[in-house]
């Protein structure tokens, strides 16, 4: 069966999701304010829509890949938004990373208009999306999540129903705490290895399979050593997610001292103008006065 999918948001992550959906036989209709990003997907077989409403009108399911609760709300409920064009019963799958409380309100507002909602944030980034190996954590009813799984089967290798609406976003915040701390720990360890005269490029292989091993260690320590700052994510997006985790921790009265430190480092780098850079640029924090000019 061919899925009729609308994609709202064709940035780095949305573009990768859209590419994979188009390549695996889905009928993809895409809308983004950036015409070049839309064209990149049209070149891969997608259909361009002049608005989110028109994209939704042509589809049975709408995927959102956006950057904040406010943008999601405007895309769905604003003028020419998804809700204006979507038929009753249309499934909205929000793959953005946003606040769980905001998600629950968005889902309630969608339900009032006869629309279904699943929050399905992701881990793995654009590289994993392109090869269909994203990790997805979903919140919603059993039926809605089952329908979302059928749509997303070609982009994910790990799909878990975490509970009601909002549970996916809560799980994503926990994921980001673990990722943020891991990125920072690996960057710190890389700098120690460099200062101590150890060939840091050999460390991932040396520790492979041990308790210190991780996907971040294997991918990022070589990049830290080589100053490979090609963009697969953004430091300021991590700030957004760590802020969300700290907001949740305040509501639950959970102590998170390591997350607080990690968030401050990311905020410092963002304030220094590196917010748009990949996590690999965390090395700039440790180089201090010894660092070369950032290029």
Higher pLDDT, 125 or 40: 40
Confidence of residue 130 (pLDDT cuts 50, 70, 90): very high
**Is 50 exceeded by the pLDDT of residue 126?**
yes
**Is 50 exceeded by the pLDDT of residue 293?**
no
Q: Quick one: which of 185, 192, 249 has its CA closest to 220? A: 185
Distance, CA of 73 to chain centre: 17
**Is 80 exceeded by the pLDDT of residue 135?**
yes
H or E element in which residue 263 lies: helix 257-269
Summarize pLDDT for 40-61 with one digit per residue, the tens: 999 999 999 999 999 999 999 9
| CA–CA distance, 256 with 49 (Å, rounded to integer) | 44
**Is 70 exceeded by the pLDDT of residue 215?**
yes
**Does residue 162 sit in helix, strand or coil?**
strand
| pLDDT at residue 1, rounded to an integer | 53
Summarize pLDDT for 233-292 with one digit per residue, the tens: 899 999 999 999 999 999 999 999 999 999 999 999 999 999 999 999 999 998 764 445
Q: Which residues contact 135 (CB under 8 A, 6 or more apart)?
A: 122, 123, 124, 128, 156, 157, 158, 159
Single pTM value for the model: 0.90
- Residue environment code for 85-118, b if the CB has 16+ CB neighbours within 10 A, otherwise e: bbeeebbbbbbbbbbbbbbbebbeebeeeebbbb
The rounded mean pLDDT for the chain is 94
List the structure tokens of 237: 């997006």
**Is 60 exceeded by the pLDDT of residue 295?**
no
Active-site residue numbers? 172
Mean pLDDT across 80-90: 97
CB 240 within 8 A of CB 227: no
Confidence of residue 231 (pLDDT cuts 50, 70, 90): confident
């Amino acid at each position: 069966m061919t899925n009729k999918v609308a994609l709202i948001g064709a940035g780095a992550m949305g573009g990768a999701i859209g590419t994979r959906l188009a390549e695996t036989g889905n009928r993809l209709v895409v809308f983004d304010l950036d015409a070049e990003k839309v064209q990149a997907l049209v070149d891969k077989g997608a259909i361009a829509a002049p608005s989110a409403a028109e994209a939704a009108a042509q589809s049975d399911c709408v995927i959102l890949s956006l950057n904040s609760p406010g943008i999601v709300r405007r895309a769905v409920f604003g003028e020419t938004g998804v809700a204006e064009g979507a038929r009753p019963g249309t499934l909205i799958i929000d793959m953005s990373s946003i606040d769980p409380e905001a998600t629950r309100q968005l889902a309630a507002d969608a339900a009032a208009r006869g629309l279904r909602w699943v929050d399905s944030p992701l881990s793995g980034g654009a590289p994993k999306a392109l090869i269909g190996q994203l990790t997805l954590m979903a919140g919603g009813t059993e039926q809605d999540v089952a329908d979302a799984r059928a749509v997303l089967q070609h982009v994910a290798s790990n799909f878990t129903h975490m509970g009601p609406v909002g549970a996916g976003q809560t799980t994503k915040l926990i994921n980001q705490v673990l990722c943020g701390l891991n990125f920072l720990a690996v960057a710190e360890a890389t700098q120690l290895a460099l200062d101590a005269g150890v060939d840091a490029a050999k460390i991932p292989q040396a520790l492979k399979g041990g308790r210190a091993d991780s996907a971040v260690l294997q991918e990022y320590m070589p990049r830290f050593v080589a100053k490979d700052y090609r963009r697969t994510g953004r430091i300021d997006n991590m700030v957004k997610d760590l802020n969300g985790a700290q907001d949740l921790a305040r509501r639950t009265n959970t102590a998170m001292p390591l997350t607080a430190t990690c968030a401050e480092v990311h905020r410092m780098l963002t304030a220094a103008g590196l917010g748009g850079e990949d996590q690999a640029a965390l090395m700039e924090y440790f180089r201090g006065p010894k660092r070369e000019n950032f290029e």
